[in-house]
Amino acid sequence: MKILITGANGLISRKAIRLLSQGKDHQLFATSQKRLNFPPEVNFFTVNLVYSDLNQLIDTIRPEVLIHCAAMASPDACEVDRYSCNKINVEVTARLASACRDYGVHMIFLSTDFVFDGLKGDYTETDTPSPISYYGESKIEAENSIIGLNTGATIVRTSLVYGHDENLSRQNLVLRVIDNLQKGKPYRLPTDQLRAPTDVNDLASALKTFTEKKIGGVFNIVGAQKLSVFDFARQIAAVFGYNESLLIPISASELDEPAKRPLNSSLDITKAKNIIGYKPTPLIDSLKNLKQELLDF
């Protein structure tokens, strides 16, 4: 099957590309703004999606499935540069969605737990979104533009994705915690922000299933365990053997960040378990696997 993946510089896209390009079942096309090194079996090209004719892009490649990962994915960047956030997160997604409708392409869109306000937690796919940041607003607007076309697209809401790959455009929490602790630097983390951190390999496997089976609808794809960001960092320190006394517990209100974050944005994964047999790796096993991956790198 021909698959086009945007945002190839990001962690999620990279892992999905790696997984889908194993074997001979799929022909991969991957795009990003900056040039990257991909294995020769991946057709990589650079493009700024904001300034591109997206109909022409889809017409030229004619993929069966589009996995749309490109985004301004930093909530703080979105909060301070709403114009650019709107262009890539909302406008590009809506234009790609309509191109996918016109060319009969199954679209898979990456969305976020930040579409919720975090007052309830354990959100299901049918809970009503109520974002408290511009990033969350942009993602729900994008989701709605896809849903409005009624094409049977897949919307994957994920959260606090972690893992490793070379030359990432953005670090993730696990790598930041490791980096700080390795350097003996104290690191402040909130005890009152609850998340279900997601192993990127579990997410990539789910994306592979959605791609190959073209199962549409909204799906929560997050980790198995809900815990505070502070406790997550403690688990990282324990598995990687670092001094956890460098981790400083604070409340989210002490963080000086441009974007507001939901307190409890944990997502319920029952639907994904039932429909695609999603089975996230237990947190400690996943961190141990990542430790091994970093040692082998």
The answer to the question of residue 11 lying near ligand NAP (CB under 6 A) is yes
What is residue 136's three-state secondary structure?
Answer: helix
Tell me which residues in 169-198 interact with ligand NAP (CB under 6 A): 169-170
Contact 7, 13 (CB under 8 A): yes
| Residue from 58, 73, 153, 290 in contact with ligand NAP (CB under 6 A) | 73
What's the closest the beta carbon of residue 161 comes to ligand NAP, in angstroms? 4
Stretch that binds ligand NAP, among 28-36, 118-126, 249-257, 281-289 (CB under 6 A): 28-36
CB of 69 to ligand NAP, least distance (A): 4
Min separation Cβ 151 and ligand NAP, Å: 19
The reply on whether position 159 binds ligand NAP by CB under 6 A is yes
Reduce the DSSP state of residue 258 to 3 states and report it.
coil
Residue count, binding to ligand NAP (CB under 6 A): 27
CA 146, distance to chain mean position in Å, is 17
Task: Give the residue ranges of DSSP H helices in 21-133.
Answer: 54-61, 75-80, 82-85, 93-103
Q: Is 8 in the site for ligand NAP (CB under 6 A)?
A: yes
Q: Are the beta carbons of 211 and 20 closer than 8 angstroms? A: yes
Q: Does 201 bind ligand NAP (CB under 6 A)?
A: no
Nearest residue to 187 via CA among 134, 240, 260, 132: 240
Question: Which one among 32, 98, 228, 286 touches ligand NAP, defined by CB under 6 A?
Answer: 32
Spell out, one character per residue from 91 to 130, where the chain touches ligand NAP: x when CB under 6 A holds, - when not.
Answer: -------------------x-x------------------
Our finding on whether 161 is near ligand NAP (CB under 6 A) is yes
For residue 24, the minimal CB distance to ligand NAP (Å) is: 26
SS3 of 263-283: CECCECCHHHHHHHCCCCCCH
Residue 137: enclosing H or E segment and its boundaries?
A: helix 134-147
Question: Measuring CA to CA, how many Å separate 139 from each of 90, 143, 217?
Answer: 7, 6, 15
Stretch that binds ligand NAP, among 4-12, 54-62, 117-125, 178-186 (CB under 6 A): 4-12
Residue 265 interacts with ligand NAP (CB under 6 A): yes or no: no
Q: CB-wise, 34 or 185, nearer to ligand NAP? A: 34
Give residue 42's Cα distance to chain centre: 21
49 vs 107, which CB is nearer to ligand NAP? 49
Placement of tokens 């016109």 in the chain: 102
Contacts of 245 (CB under 8 A, 6+ apart): none
Question: Applying CB under 6 A, which part among 8-16, 19-27, 124-132, 288-296 lies near ligand NAP?
Answer: 8-16
- Applying CB under 6 A, does 71 fall inside the site for ligand NAP? yes
From first CA to last CA, the distance across the chain in angstroms is 30
Q: Cα separations (Å) of 115 from 74, 235, 278?
A: 14, 27, 22
Q: Give the residues lining the site for ligand NAP (CB under 6 A).
A: 7-13, 32-34, 47-50, 69-71, 73, 88, 110, 112, 158-161, 169-170
